[in-house]
Amino acid sequence: MYTADEFDVVIVGAGISGIAAAVQLQQNCPAKSFTVLEARDAVGGTWDLFRYPGIRSDSDMFTLGYGFNPWTAPEAIAAGGAIKEYLRETTERFGIDRHIRFGSRLAAASFDSADDQWKLTVETADGIQVLRARFVYLGTGYYSYRGGFNPTLTGEDTFAGRLIHPQHWPADLDYAGKNIAVVGSGATSITLVPNLARDAAKVTMIQRSPSYVFVEDGIDVEADDLRRELGPEVAFTRIRLRNLANQQETYAQARQQPEAFKKLLFEAIDEVVGEDVRKRHFTPTYEPWDQRVCVVPDADLFHAIDDGRAAVATGEIARITPTGVEMWDGEHIDADIIVKATGLNVVMGGEAVFDVDGVPVDIGQCWTYKGLAYSGVPNLVYAFGFINASWTLRIEAVNEYWCRILQHMDDVGATRVTPRLTDEPPALPYVTGVSSGYLQRAQAHLPHQGDTAPWINPQRYADTTELLVSVDDGVLHYENLG
């Protein structure tokens, strides 16, 4: 019997991953006591943190939304506020809101084999609290909430205007009628530029080199038809399966038939801005999906460029001047505001410190077990979604597998489960085949993967579900205090 500060499970994070974990734990292991630690004062994770204009999903909501709580709004690509509300409603609908401790940041976690429990040090406004748990689930996402990747640009201290990072968008920023330079060409920039362009005088996206983007309808007309015919829940299941298949087929085509895939992307861009603009600014030298392909809903970015409200400058920045950005080719981009959409700082475990029996855990020296646990670390599962498909698809599969591990522990009377290496596999990057800067910068802080199961981190849904079958595979070691 546990005291008020002891739980079977502590879930860290009340974003997409943590909420899903809580619901699926409650459904599959109803006898387990649990609490959810959330450092912020609201649910939502990413969708509560990011407040920049136009913040939206980069995946369709039929796959980013939960299988257990169908997304019923008409938008396939949804605004950040709508996603946050959907997550809040989910916590209320399933009673998870009663289990969340807001303003509670996990600072450290120590596992003690003497009692097979985690001791969790939690920072709150009232001081340090200590919790104990048999199992810890890390739904902390993959980036630092303290700040994004923010490289210093030469001369930025001379800039007379406002210099901001979109991860912490100022609530008081008035950009109406202003000239804005957005540095970067990832998902944040692709989203920001057309939305800023509605009120700004001119928005210029500055990129070192082109990236691939995919034009997609913001509203899924077929989904609306299916809802009317079949009802929202049946339609959701069918649409989700269709979109999952489409995501996997699209990725496979991009990797196996890159020229055909490029043609598909380029035709949609050429239709709005023409071939010349596309060749200069949206024709990369790398292959599709070597880096993430960002979605442009309803071609909004290209319409803003075509209308003259937005522009793209491709090349190296020489320096920031008091009045804007000077490029190496001599072009000067006037700016009242510079937005440094330069990316995220990737971290694992929400930047908490972990140890097992007093020995520090260096995640960068661990191997990932099936993309959900760390070699040698007992009673801990972490959530990390797909790079090339919707995050939630993988999270729900991981959670189902995790719940079966908990059930098996009960069946065999185990108080501890640990993925153990026998022979040390090759130390391959956590995500292979992707050269995105945010992943490359973080390699030292991410676990390795090997070249054979179960020490792998698959990025295809079918491979993931095939891997997440046996909970008694000889690699997971079940032990008890007995």
Q: What is the DSSP string of 438-469?
A: HHHHTGGGSPBB-SSTTS----SHHHHHHHS-
162, part of any domain: yes
CB-CB contact of 409 with 398 (8 Å):
no
Which residue is it, tokens 């108080």?
415
CB-CB contact of 19 with 91 (8 Å):
yes
Which residue is it, tokens 């020489």?
318
Domain identity same for 311 and 368: no
Domain identity same for 333 and 356: no
For residue 289, give Cα distances in angstroms to 254, 302, 313, 440, 456.
7, 21, 23, 15, 19
CB-CB contact of 293 with 190 (8 Å):
no
What is the amino acid identity at position 388?
N
Which pLDDT score is estimated for 438?
80
Cis bond upstream, residue 232 (ω within 30): no
Phi, psi of 37 (to 5 degrees): -95, 130
Structure-token pair, residue 363: 């995640």
Domain identity same for 333 and 349: no
Cα angle 273-276-282, degrees, rounded to a multiple of 5: 75
Domain identity same for 121 and 68: yes
In a 10 Å sphere around its CB, with 0-12 CB exposed, 13-18 middle and 19+ buried, how is residue 128 labelled? exposed
CA distance 445 to 363: 6
Handedness of CA 252, 256, 262, 264 (dihedral sign): negative
Which pLDDT score is estimated for 4?
60
Domain identity same for 57 and 126: yes
The single-letter DSSP state of residue 155 is T
Q: Of 177, 314, 295, 185, which Cα lies nearest the Cα of 243?
A: 295
Q: What is the DSSP string of 247-302?
A: HHHHHHHHHH-HHHHHHHHHHHHHHHH-HHHHHHHS--SS-TTSSPPEEEETTHHH
Residue 146, CA atoms < 13 Å, CB-side half-sphere? 8
3-state secondary structure of 2: coil
Domain identity same for 109 and 50: yes
Provide block-wise average pLDDT over 10 residues at a time, the chain (482 residues).
79 99 99 98 98 95 96 93 98 99 98 98 96 98 94 98 97 97 96 98 98 92 88 89 91 93 97 97 94 94 98 98 98 98 94 98 98 99 93 98 99 98 93 81 92 96 96 97 76
247, part of any domain: no
CA distance 295 to 272: 15
Whether the pTM exceeds 0.85: the reply is yes
Domain identity same for 128 and 22: yes
- Choose the final residue of a domain: 310, 340, 370: 340
Specify the long-range contacts of residues 154-157, CB closer than 8 Å, at least 24 apart: 154/317, 154/318, 154/319, 154/320, 155/319, 155/320, 155/321, 156/320, 156/338
Domain identity same for 162 and 287: yes
368, part of any domain: yes
What count of other Cβ atoms lies within 10 Å of the Cβ of residue 285? 7
Q: How many domains does the chain have?
A: 2
Which pLDDT score is estimated for 434?
77
- Choose the final residue of a domain: 300, 316, 340: 340
235, part of any domain: no
- Choose the final residue of a domain: 322, 340, 358: 340
20, part of any domain: yes
Which pLDDT score is estimated for 224?
84
Which pLDDT score is estimated for 482?
66
257, part of any domain: no
116, part of any domain: yes
Pairing type for strands 332-334 and 324-327 reads: antiparallel
Could you list the residue range(s) of the whole structural domain that residue 209 is in? 156-222+267-340
Domain identity same for 173 and 294: yes
CA distance 386 to 287: 19
Residue 109's DSSP bridge partners are 120, 354
What is the amino acid identity at position 301?
L
What count of other Cβ atoms lies within 10 Å of the Cβ of residue 137? 27
CATH number of the domain to which 35 belongs: 3.50.50.60
CA distance 352 to 358: 15
Which pLDDT score is estimated for 436?
76
Phi, psi of 213 (to 5 degrees): -135, 155
For residue 338, give Cα distances in angstroms to 156, 166, 305, 325.
9, 10, 18, 8
Domain identity same for 355 and 375: yes
What is the amino acid identity at position 368?
T
Which residue is it, tokens 């409603």?
89
Domain identity same for 176 and 91: no
61, part of any domain: yes
CA distance 464 to 107: 31
Residue 53, CA atoms < 13 Å, CB-side half-sphere? 16
Domain identity same for 325 and 353: no
